[in-house]
Every structure is written in structure tokens, then in C-alpha cells.
Amino acid sequence: MFFRLLFYACCLSSFLSAHPHVFIDTKVQVLPEKIVITWSFDEMSSAMLMDDYDKNRNKKLDPDEIAFMEKDHFRTLEPYSYFIHMSDGKDEFDLKRVSEFSASFEAKKLIYTFAIPKPKFKKYELRFYDAEMYVALILKKEWLSCKEPIKCKIEGYDADFYYAYKVMVQE
């Protein structure tokens, strides 16, 4: 009984230790050869990141600033699978490869665009969540586009201890 209580308390406390502070509007384009993701950060997080990476304070991201941002910020998200997890419906796979990274600062928001390779499956899910729940990735139907004949739709996804979004793709 004691250990069971302790176990439940531990589970409860892990549930009670995080909540979102960074909000990313996520756009997904499923193309025949790749998937293009666009992250649009909330204004507050954008201001913080720009303070770190817009070294010359011109409110634009120059190529060398983008390169440093990619190395110093974006690539550090690899251990978190860039908050994108692929699944064939049974197993979940972390994202190992991203390409075509670019960043810009538009309408007071920091925008990241990058491409991810398509999985080999005909039917798969892209699950968008941060396991530590510090970042909330928000997806909306109007932010999803799929090149015909690919079909896709957005649904809620149970990320173990909170709900996130997933995109279901049928090639």
C-alpha cells in the first residue's frame, strides 16, 4: 500500500510539474517529396529569441544570424525530436533529420521554416508535442495543406499526460 501510494504520488507529481510558456502556431504542408513545417512563435517568445540572436539589433535576421540561430537554438531541439514524432499507428519514431532551415522576423513574430523527410509508410501520423509540456504547438485545420491525392486531417493526440495535436496522413 505504501509503495503504491508513493508510486501514484510520483506519477501525480510528474503531471504537476510543467505547463506551456512558449506558443507555436504550426503550419504543415504535406508535399509529394517532403513535409514542410512552419513555426510561428508567439510575440513574447519572439522578442526573447530576437534579443538573443538579432545581434545587430536591426530587427531582421541576416544570413550569419540565421546560421547561428540554427546551430545554437534550432539544432539543440534534436534530442526532443523537434517536437515532431512520426508513427505508423503502432510505434513512434523520433525525427533525426531536418533540412532547409530558414528563419525570419515578420509582423513581430519569429518564424522558422524547415523540411522533414517523409516516412516510407502509406499511412502515418505526425504527432506534435513537447514531452516536457513547456512548448505548446498549436495546429488548426486551416494551417494544414496536403497536395492531392494525399489526404490528411488533424486530430487531438493523447501525449501520455496531456493532449496535443496530430496530423494523420494517407498517401
User: Which positions lie near another protein, rule CB under 8 A?
Assistant: 2, 5-6, 9-10, 12-23, 42-45, 47-49, 51-52, 72-73, 76-77, 79-80, 108, 132-136, 138, 156, 158, 162-163, 165
Query: Of 17 and 104, which has the nearer Cβ to another protein?
Result: 17
Kind plus residue range of the DSSP H or E element containing 12? helix 2-15
* Smallest separation, CB 126 to another protein (Å): 17
CA-nearest of 14, 44, 40, 18 to 27 is 40
Smallest separation, CB 116 to another protein (Å): 19
Phi, psi of 23, deg, nearest 5: -120, 125
Beta carbon nearer to another protein, 100 or 132: 132
The rounded distance, in Å, linking the Cα atoms of 87 and 127 is: 8
Strands (E), 129-162: 135-138, 144-146, 151-158
Q: Which is nearer to another protein, 18 or 150 (CB)?
A: 18
